[in-house]
């Protein structure tokens, strides 16, 4: 069952780009923006990552933490984050724990049978740990409505 609006957000334990385990629970008390990306080093993902990067002061001002999540390994994520000066954590969901818990798994990305990536999705979790907003891309090439995401974050303040 996907984490729907009004339901508790599933916790996770994922490695960040420095191979430290991070959990959703550690951000309790802040609004959390979970941004799921199909893959590092791809065009639309880089555009979205950089758009969120450029908006980080707005999110900080709303007591919000952005977390990027892909199924890529932390080594690739670190290089991608460095190349793009990403200023928020990226988490490696290589075992598909979060993409399955949030029902954003994308099988067969780019026609690769057996490969499961994350679909592009944004989930906003309020400071108490409840899902307040959920958007899943109809296709991985679609970006979220950033103004809508910010409005959802603002509504949690």
Active site residues: 45
Tokens 């758009």 correspond to 51
Neighbour count for residue 46 (Cβ, 10 Å)? 17
Torsion sign across C-alpha atoms 40, 43, 48, 50: positive
Q: What is d(CA 137, CA 120) in angstroms, rounded to the nearest whole number?
A: 5
The whole-angstrom separation of Cα 150 and Cα 64 is: 10
């Amino acid at each position: 069952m996907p984490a729907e609006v009004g339901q508790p957000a599933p916790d996770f334990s994922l490695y960040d780009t420095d191979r430290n385990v991070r959990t959703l629970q550690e951000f309790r008390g802040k609004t959390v923006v979970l941004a799921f990306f199909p893959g590092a080093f791809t065009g639309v993902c880089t555009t979205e990552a950089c758009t969120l990067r450029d908006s980080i002061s707005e999110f900080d001002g709303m007591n919000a933490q952005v977390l990027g999540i892909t199924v890529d390994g932390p080594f690739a994520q670190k290089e991608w984050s460095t190349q793009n000066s990403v200023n928020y954590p990226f988490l490696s969901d290589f075992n598909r724990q979060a993409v399955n818990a949030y029902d954003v798994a994308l099988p067969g990305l780019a026609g690769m049978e057996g490969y499961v990536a994350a679909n592009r999705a944004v989930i906003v979790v309020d400071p108490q740990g409840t899902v307040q907003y959920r958007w899943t891309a109809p296709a991985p090439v679609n970006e979220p409505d950033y103004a809508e995401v910010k409005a959802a974050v603002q509504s949690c303040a």
